[in-house]
Amino acid sequence: MRKKIPGTHLEVENIFCIGRNYSEHIKELKNAVPTEPVVFIKPTSSIIYSGDKLALPSQSARVDHEVEIVVALAKGGKNLSEAQAIESIAGIGVGVDFTARDLQDKAKEKGLPWSVCKGFDGFAAISSFVKAPKDAEALRNLHFTLEVNGEQRQVGNSADMLNSIPALICYLSTVYTLSPGDLIFTGTPQGVAPLKKGDHILSKLEDWTELKIEVV
């Protein structure tokens, strides 16, 4: 069954994710600052929605939360300009890129891909999407947060992105032919931390939309 993008008429096509897009998050994981966007892809089977439950996979001893602004595309294309990139946005929401950190660390040590640590069922949680600002400056000032059991753990603003939302869409369009229904997870700020059974996650984008997930 095709996954829906809440708040739009679209179904999920591809899920593009951006790593290392906030300098403080890069520091906390002791990674090198990239010279261009770091891109990985999640399967559509990883999508869950607000009100759903995340089942921690038995293969991992540490699953971290990574709150992110998520962009849904209404239009596709190749080699888009910034104006075309902004026009292509169908909506904007908040999401959580869950990561099996222990599996990721092992993969990185061996120089292997991150596909498994990022792709378990439920590892791409998304809120309902709302209409996005249609100018570059407004897209560079979006506030978002994540709480676990009422304790704030992550606070971010798109102003701190190394690569802005329009720039990410432009970059992706130079590599891939983008499609309506593509989702872009735009990177996480500092404060990632492990989860445990029974945790309740609340993520918000401005006062526009929110995402609630229970960990089981």
**Is 126 inside any structural domain?**
yes
Structural domain boundaries, residue 101: 15-215
Tell me the pairing of strands 15-19 and 38-42. antiparallel
pLDDT score recorded for residue 163: 92
Based on C-alpha coordinates, what's the Rg of the chain?
16
Integer distance in angstroms from the first to the last C-alpha of the chain?
24
Q: Give dist(CA 153, CA 173) in Å, integer.
A: 33
**Is 1 inside any structural domain?**
no
Q: Which residues of 78-115 are buried (b: 16+ CB within 10 A; e: fewer)?
A: eebeeeebbebbbbbbbbbbbbbbbbbeebeeeeeebe
Is 35's pLDDT higher than 90? no
* pLDDT band, very low/low/confident/very high, at 31 (cuts 50, 70, 90): confident
Overall number of domains in the chain: 1
**Is 78 inside any structural domain?**
yes
pLDDT score recorded for residue 148: 98
**Is 63 inside any structural domain?**
yes
SS3 category, 176: coil
Is the pTM higher than 0.85? yes
Average pLDDT over residues 127-156: 96
Tell me, what CATH number does 168's domain have? 3.90.850.10
**Is 10 inside any structural domain?**
no
pLDDT in tens, 146-167: 999 999 999 999 999 999 999 9
pLDDT score recorded for residue 168: 97
**Is 7 inside any structural domain?**
no
Least confident among 55-64, 105-114, 180-189, 192-201: 105-114
